Amino acid sequence: MTEPDLPAELVARLSEVRSVGVVTGAGISQESGISTYRGKGGLYDDPEEGDRTIEALSAPTLFANPDVTWRVVADLARQAVQAQPNPAHLAIVEIEDAVSRFVLLTQNVDGLHRAAGTRNMIEIHGNVFETVCMQCQETGTLEADTLVGLVSAPTCVSCGGTLRPDVVLFGEMLCPTKVGQIQQQFHLAVPDLVLAVGTSAMFPYILEPLLVARHEGRLTIEINPESTPLSGVVDFWLDGPAGSYLPLLANAIKSSQSL
Q: Which residues are catalytic?
A: 125
* Interacting residue with ligand NAD among 17, 21, 22, 38 (CB under 6 A): 38
In angstroms, rounded to a whole number, what is the distance separating the alpha carbons of residues 208 and 203?
9
Least Cβ distance, residue 35 to ligand NAD (angstroms): 6
Of the residues 21, 154, 191, 241, which one makes contact with ligand NAD according to CB under 6 A: 241
Between 127 and 162, CB nearer to ligand NAD: 127
**Alpha-carbon distance 125 to 17, whole Å?**
28
Minimum distance of ligand NAD from residue 191's CB (angstroms):
20
40 burial via Cβ count (<10 Å: 0-12, 13-18, 19+): exposed
Binding mask of the shown chain, residues 195 to 234, with x at each position contacting ligand NAD by CB under 6 A: --xxxx----------------------xxxx-x------
Residue type for position 56 = A
CB of 109 to ligand NAD, least distance (A): 4
Member of 11, 18, 19, 42 binding ligand NAD (CB under 6 A)? 42
- For ligand NAD, give the closer residue by CB, 75 or 138: 75
- For 23-84, the DSSP string reads EE-GGGGGGGT---SSSTTSGGGSHHHHHHHHHHTBHHHHHH-HHHHHHHHHHHHHHHHH--
10 Å Cβ neighbour count for 218?
20
Q: CB under 6 A: which stretch of 5-13, 35-43, 179-187, 231-239 binds ligand NAD? A: 35-43
Q: Give the H/E segment covering residue 21.
A: strand 19-24
**250: nearest Cα among 22, 85, 34:** 22
Q: Which amino acid is at 99?
A: V
108, 118, 185, 220: which one contacts ligand NAD (CB under 6 A)? 108
Question: 155 forms bridges with which residues in the sheet?
Answer: 162
Residue 23 and residue 215: Cα distance in Å, rounded? 17
Cβ(96)–Cβ(185) under 8 Å?
Answer: no
Terminal alpha carbon distance of the chain: 32
Does 85 interact with ligand NAD (rule: CB under 6 A)? no
The residue (of 91 and 156) whose beta carbon lies closer to ligand NAD is 91
Q: Could you give the string, one character per residue 99-138, with x where binding to Zn ion holds by CB under 5 A and - elsewhere?
A: ----------------------------------x-xx-x
Q: Is 110 in the site for ligand NAD (CB under 6 A)?
A: yes
Decide if residue 39 touches ligand NAD (CB under 6 A): yes
86 binds, among ligand NAD, Zn ion, none (CB under 5 to 8 A by kind): none
φ/ψ of 166, rounded to 5, equals -85, 60
Distance CA 91, CA 82 (A): 20
Asked if 157 is part of the footprint of Zn ion (rule: CB under 5 A), the reply reads: no
Binding site for ligand NAD (CB under 6 A): 25-27, 29-31, 34, 36-39, 42, 107-110, 125, 197-200, 223-226, 228, 241-242
